[in-house]
Amino acid sequence: MVIDKNIRVVVDSNVWISGLIFGGQPEKIIKLFTEGHILLIVSAELLSELRRKIIEKFPLFAPNLDLLEASILNDAIVVKLGSRTINISRDPDDNKVIETAVIGNCNYIISGDNDLLIIGSYKNIRIVNPTDFLNIIDPS
């Protein structure tokens, strides 16, 4: 696998949750980040959403989240939201994902959310699901 460590990505909370709980392609995305192959861009709002969803829906996985969150805070770039107003998604909650990507000069948003995926791209940021992202970075 040829990895470009300059690939800047926002990983949506649904991908983190799927990777932590179910594995599969989302888990491969998490490993790419934890092994330093991609550069993660995150905001406090996205981390808060991730924590809230894990605690509400999958409380037994909260200890795994603590380790992941520590890694994110140590190795990711945290951007501050509020400097842009983005109203592109049909789900207003998803606009913070796009705003994080825009402020962080991202190449990709990785999500399983159809409200984001239907957009396809925004300001040269491709919005893709985990399988498509993995195929893009390693087409073999």
Convert 3-30 to b/e letters by CB count within 10 Å (16 or more is b).
Answer: eeeebbbbbbbbbbbbbbeeeebbbebb
Q: How does pLDDT run across 42-90, given as a tens digit for each residue?
A: 999 999 999 999 999 988 888 877 788 888 899 999 999 988 788 899 9
Query: Residue 51: which of 43, 26, 127 has the closest Cα?
Result: 43
> How many other β-carbons are positioned within 10 Å of the β-carbon of residue 126?
18
Q: Which whole number is the average pLDDT over 85-111?
A: 94
Instruction: Enter the pTM of the model.
Output: 0.92
Give the residue carrying structure tokens 């520590």: 70
Q: What is the pLDDT of residue 112?
A: 96
Question: Residue 99 above 70 pLDDT?
Answer: yes
pLDDT tens across 7-50, in order?
999 999 999 999 988 999 999 999 999 888 999 999 999 999 99
Domains and CATH numbers, the chain: 8-137 (3.40.50.1010)
Task: Answer yes or no: are the C-beta atoms of 50 and 60 closer than 8 Å.
Answer: no
